[in-house]
Amino acid sequence: MPVRSLHSSVFKWPDRQGVVQALTRWADSVTQNDSSITRIGYFGSCARGDWGVGTDLDLLILVAQSDRPFEQRATRLDLTALPVPAEALVYTEAE
């Protein structure tokens, strides 16, 4: 999320490299705690390189299988550790 400078009203948005590094750490942690996740990737503006202030992070997560409907799968993920807003699409490998 954006952070306010200590002595200023200006917000600073994380740079793309910092977001990707945070995503890598988050992905490592999530896959260690959930063996059903087989792959995690990102797409959209961050992947294309036209990242900017206010941009969110679009995630694609593959799981071996799931008994949950598609609309509910991402709700079990804690995306709050990421430094910017994120949206996850969770698909099974069969899908």
pLDDT one-digit tens code per residue, 13-35: 788 888 999 999 999 999 999 99
Where helices occur in 1-95 by DSSP H, the ranges are: 16-33, 45-48, 70-73
| β-pairing verdict for 11-12 and 3-4 | antiparallel
pLDDT value at position 15? 85
Predicted TM-score (pTM) of this structure:
0.82
In degrees, rounded to 5, the angle at the alpha carbon of residue 12 between the alpha carbons of residues 11 and 17 is: 160
- Domains along the chain? 3-92 (3.30.460.10)
pLDDT one-digit tens code per residue, 30-73: 999 999 999 999 999 888 888 888 889 999 999 999 999 999 99
